[in-house]
Structure formats: structure tokens, C-alpha cells
Amino acid sequence: MPRASAWTLGWLALAVALVLLPQALSFSQQEILVFLTINVLLVSSYRLLTLTGEWSLGHAVIMGVGAYASALVTKWTGLFVPLSMLVGALTAAAVAWVLSFPLFRMKGFYFLIGSFAAGEIIRLLWKRFQDPFGGAKGLKRIEPMPNLDLGFHHFDFFLPTNYYYFALVAVGICLWLMWRVERSPMGLAFHAVHWQDKLAQASGINVRGYRMLAFVLASGFAGLSGALLAHYIGTINPGSFGVEQMVFILTWAIVGGTSTFYGPILGVVVLTILNEIVLRGMGFEQARPLIYGFILILSVLFLPKGLESLVQGAMARWRVAAPRPAPVEREKQA
């Protein structure tokens, strides 16, 4: 079979599987599937940020900025929820842009601490200002996604299955956008900034500009994931986007690995399944942050390149077992 059609077939099979998936799950599992879909976007956006080599500890808060912004915009203006989610994403990107001026004066460890501090300041503002953020109790009765009648199907987005489909489309589009960016010359510049920022700069690349750009783009996608969450669960508060949530993001990313596009997705999927089947089944749910921390340490010690390295290894073996002619004949020079 030609390669191209094999790929098409693979993607088609995946799409069908994702559409049918809720049918195989219980109601509470369907709810978890919605969160998982949103978290796939969240952790993928985090990877986009790390492409330039800087790891932020403010990503969960940036997600929250999108959630708060979208919730407040619908409350104030009654804007159509999917559009307000876009406003949420843009707000998160804008806040990230402003923050990037002080933050990208720092690098490495200092950037890490700076991003954490910036996030905590935002969380303090949410807590401090009853109006409009609702203080420590946060926002309640957030406008839900309005029902939608498409003729062939009436979507009541209160049901997790329907919201899952909506989130799936939104997240699918976002992943496609991130993929396109990474595979473009811009993505190459991100990698260049990561691996050798001095050489990148000597090649005319505005290193700080690209770091800011990755941060702003990633924050926009994180903001959208926050908005998707807010309009589903209907209530958010400063605690929803705290250190615990940041630990989850880091654990998904590190356990999955960040050198491939699919690594973090693998991480969040595997850990969510583990969490739901193993932890919840055994009644350890309360200890989730603790166990996540433990998994994080284990994976750093025993699988430092993440779950993705297992996939890469398997694919390499498969290629050796079934060799294909090289797609491009290498030109040999004398």
C-alpha cells in the first residue's frame, strides 16, 4: 500500500475511534474524557512553550486567565460562548505578552522562579478582588455552552458526550495549528533557540523575540483550554489553577517526554488512565498529587527520555524489521 493512503487510513481509523469512544464508557468516564481532551490541549501548549528551552511555572495560571476572561465576557456581554472562548485565549496571550517583558530578561532557573511569582501575583489578584473575580470562592454559574441543533443531531452540551465532541474539534484544530507552526521555518527557529541560542543569534535570529513568541502562542492555547474547562464545569476559583495543577502539567510533560509532538499527549493519556483505573479503583484518589510527584521522580530516574522514547525505540525496531527503500536517493559525492 502506498504510504500516503496508509496514513490517511490511519487518521480515519483514529477519527472513527475517537467518535465512537464515548459509547464504550460510563457517564463518569465520559466526564473524565472531556477533561482529558482539554488536558491534551493544555499539555501540548506547554510543550510549544518548552520548544525554545524555557520551562515556565506559570502555565496553569495562564490557563486560568483564559478561563476567567471567557467566563466574565459571557457574563458581561452575553457573547456566544465559543467566541468568548476565543476572547479568553486572546486575553491569556495578551497577559503572557505583557509578562514576557520582565520574564524574558531572565533565563533558566530565574525564569522558572519569575514565572512562578508572576502566576502567584495573578492568583492573588483573583483572590483579592471580589469584584469581578469573585475572590477566593471564584466564579459560579458560568454560562454553559448553548444547545445546538444541527438537524441530524441535537447537541445538548450539558451531556459530557456532546461537550466532548465540541472539545475534540476545538482541540483537534489547535493541535493542527501547533503542528504546522512546529514544522515550519518558525519551528526550526524555535529549536535553534533551544539548542544553541548564541549560534541562533549569530544567524540573525532575535532570540528573545522568538522566546516571547513561543510563550505568547502557547499561552493563547492554554487560555483556550481554560475556557473550555470553565464553560463545562461551570465554576472556577483561584485554587483550580494552583500549584497542584502545575505539578500535573509538568508530570504529564516529563513522563511523556517533550522531544516529540506526541510525547506529552502520551503522558497525559497514560497517566489519566492510570489515575482513573488504578488510583480511583483502589481508593487512592485523594493522594493524587502525592502519587503524581512520586511518578514524576520515578520517571526522571528510570525513564528520563519519557514514554515517547519507548515508542521511538519500537518504531526503530519495526523499521529494521521491515526495511523500506529510502525515500530520497542520497547523492554520493566523490
Partner 1 sequence: MSAPLISVDELTMRFGGLTAVDHLSFDVSEGTIHGLIGPNGAGKTTTFNMISGFYRPTGGRITFAGEPISGLPMHEVARRGLVRTFQHSTLFNELSVIDNVLVGTHMLFPPRLVAAILGRDGASRRAARERAEEALSFFGLHHLADELAGELPHGHQRALGMAIATAARPRAVLLDEPFTGMNGEETRRMMELMRKLKASGVTILIVEHDMQAIMGLCDSITVMSFGRLLAEGTPAEIRRNPKVIEAYLGGTPHAA
Residue numbers of the site for partner 1 (CB under 8 A)? 177, 180-181, 184-186, 188-189, 191-192, 195-196, 198-207, 213, 330-333
Helix (H) or strand (E) segment spanning residue 311:
helix 307-321
Q: Which residue has cell 523499521?
A: 319
Q: Is 58 helix (H, G, I), strand (E, B) or coil?
A: coil
How far, in Å, are 35, 60, 237, 243, 268 from residue 141 at the CA level?
A: 19, 22, 12, 24, 28
We find the least distance from the C-beta atom of residue 180 to partner 1, in angstroms, to be 5
What is the spatial distance between Cα 89 and Cα 110, in angstroms, rounded to a whole number?
Answer: 26
State which residue, 50 or 161, has the beta carbon closest to partner 1: 50
We find the least distance from the C-beta atom of residue 142 to partner 1, in angstroms, to be 30
State which residue, 321 or 334, has the beta carbon closest to partner 1: 334
We find the least distance from the C-beta atom of residue 253 to partner 1, in angstroms, to be 18
We find the least distance from the C-beta atom of residue 199 to partner 1, in angstroms, to be 5
92 in Cβ contact with 174 (< 8 Å): no
State which residue, 77 or 184, has the beta carbon closest to partner 1: 184
State which residue, 207 or 268, has the beta carbon closest to partner 1: 207
15 phi, psi to nearest 5 deg: -60, -45
DSSP string, 12-71: HHHHHHHHHGGGGS-HHHHHHHHHHHHHHHHHHHHHHHHTTT---S-HHHHHHHHHHHHH
State which residue, 128 or 183, has the beta carbon closest to partner 1: 183
We find the least distance from the C-beta atom of residue 94 to partner 1, in angstroms, to be 16
